[in-house]
Chains A and B, each alone.
Chain A
């Protein structure tokens, strides 16, 4: 079983928490590296959007959630999936077009959802998941579930009408939702400088009466702390929060990206702010984990990803025979 039990709590709250936070970030990194490798070998179809360099935000956010809390995710969604507790084998299997994949090979990377861990799905449509998270929060409120919904989205998504309409609904109905913007500086090739006339994207919360916070999205502890405040506020019935996690995407937007819109120096500069190395530095300083333990955690992550790839490779390919029956859920008699 590839799913490790979810831990809720501060990444620095205990040795177990620190271990879990590092393992989660490492699993995301190794998973993405494996996907890139499979892609390079022509084994994965379509395109891919990797979240290398952005591992802290999904990890920190999900450590502030319970398994029953819900998320909506994006085209760059592998990290969200893993941090919420998805099974690595079923994720790889989906990318390989296998029957045991999360979507039975029908959805691929951009459409992985995991009902058991409250993941309502990645999305191929920029900003498509934001109103959906607001709706999940509405259901929670109407049904007194006590759960919160988090919508992950990119900086680019904040210029879609869907963001604005959803933010306003969340605010006027005081919904238990967190708008989690992963500002990695670019929406494909368009920099935030070109796409926005404001300094901090979190300022947009003001327009809707939603508290907005900008913070270091590569510091998993800071991400956790801001999310924890937002979760408390949501569960107390006080409404939504807009969080802006400033981070950076190391790899191209997708397979076809030639990185013409940014410099190598800029990329190298951000690689120095590696969220994983930074967290290792903090846990060493606080004597929560030793070098040997850190190495062992990375090895475990690597082993888990390799095992997932091997298992997924062996699985049966998705069968076209079932397609027509897959469109509608059967109406129960």
Chain B
């Protein structure tokens, strides 16, 4: 295996290192990101390479940390905030939602907030209801925030570099199970960028269009590989950023397949992928649909602890396989 088959944690670290080399105003702040190397090991050795000023350990004060990052961003710095678990963005919500998201607009454009907030999200580690949520939908519902969900190491590095370049606040949601899974493809060296707001078609198949985010991309591809053996061909699209959202590849694909399935880990009710369905329902490819849209999402419950409960709470590969097989078989 090539030594460029990085994990997502390594790819993110590489992106932050490149950004810090490129611009002196980039710095990282968060809890246990220094000697500890980050709750999920993402900052790793950066503390030893860049020092305690630029890889800045903080007390347990999420509101203060994010607020300080907003102020620094308004004043010439480019902070990257690490929040250990995305659940703790709740502590910092005022600074994210009422401050960072709105300042540029409210003051008439004279100020802007080049801030990246990285957070570990999602279930699967047995950390239970307060450490396992997928809250991207909250942020997608706030104009003024960009929301990125990388699905692999390659995407993570290129998207994070673009997020750091961006003159606006970007919420970067990293699924914690993806940190250690090797990616689908090699991660190029150097500072490549993946633009925010461009969906990626990961595979093309004639029977069903699947739109998925984060770890669900990983699961959708596994499902597609399994269904291929049965002669069912899936198109898998990863929007990569849910705000802004690039729908064109989805419309184009639905025109070809006539069937749409959306998959997310977050609870179904009020979830972000309902927006994808709404856009298809009101967009140019509606007339091509020959089947009801299939929606696979987390149950409308807090994430439970016991492994058998936790697995049941969110879509798994066999659920995707079954739902895809059924919609293709039943609607011809």
Contacts and interface: CB of A to CB of B under 8 A. Distances in A.
Nearest to B62: A160
B31 interface: yes
Contacts of B306: 45, 97-98, 105-106, 108, 317-318
Given A161-B91, A260-B35, A323 B127 contact: no
Interface string B45-72: 0000000000001111111100000000
Contacts, number: 134
A191 to B, nearest CB: 10
A138 interface: no
Contact of B61 (A47, A105, A159): A159
A327 interface: yes
Majority DSSP secondary structure for residues of A touching B: loop
Interface stretch (A172-180, A182-190, A224-232, A270-278): A182-190
A106 B305 contact: yes
B94 to A, nearest CB: 10
A98 B307 CA distance: 11
Query: Which residue, A94, A107, A327, has most C-beta atoms of chain B within 10 A?
Result: A107
A256 interface: yes
A126 B128 CA distance: 15
Contacts of B130: 110-111, 123-125, 128
A156 interface: yes
Given A126-B60, A256-B39, A111 B129 contact: yes
A159 B305 contact: no
B235 to A, nearest CB: 31
Contact of A161 (B61, B127, B300, B302): B61
Interface string B29-48: 00110111101010000000
A261 B7 CA distance: 25
Contacts of A187: 31, 59-60
Interface in B304-321: 304-310, 312-313
Contacts of A103: 305
Interface residues of A, number: 44
B128 A46 contact: yes
Contact of A317 (B57, B62, B302, B308): B308
A161 B64 contact: yes
A194 B60 contact: no
Nearest to B63: A161
Contact of A97 (B31, B37, B307): B307
A172 to B, nearest CB: 22
Contacts of B225: none
A161 to B, nearest CB: 5
B48 to A, nearest CB: 11
B279 interface: no
Query: Which residue, B59, B63, B91, B131, has most C-beta atoms of chain A within 10 A?
Result: B59
Contacts of B58: 190
B195 interface: no
A287 interface: no
B32 A189 contact: yes
B126 interface: yes
B309 A324 contact: no
Interface string B283-323: 00000000000000001111011111110110000000000
B88 interface: yes
Given A45-B126, A105-B306, A189-B36, A323 B301 contact: yes
Contacts of A98: 306
Given A45-B305, A126-B60, A323-B301, A107 B32 contact: no
B309 A188 contact: no
Given A124-B87, A159-B60, A161-B91, 11 more contacts: A46-B125, A106-B128, A107-B305, A156-B60, A161-B64, A190-B57, A195-B59, A258-B36, A261-B35, A320-B308, A326-B301
Interface of B: 31-32, 34-37, 39, 41, 57-64, 87-88, 91, 125-131, 299-302, 304-310, 312-313
Interface of A: 45-47, 94, 97-98, 103, 105-108, 110-111, 123-128, 156-157, 159-162, 187-190, 194-196, 256-258, 260-261, 317-318, 320, 323-324, 326-327
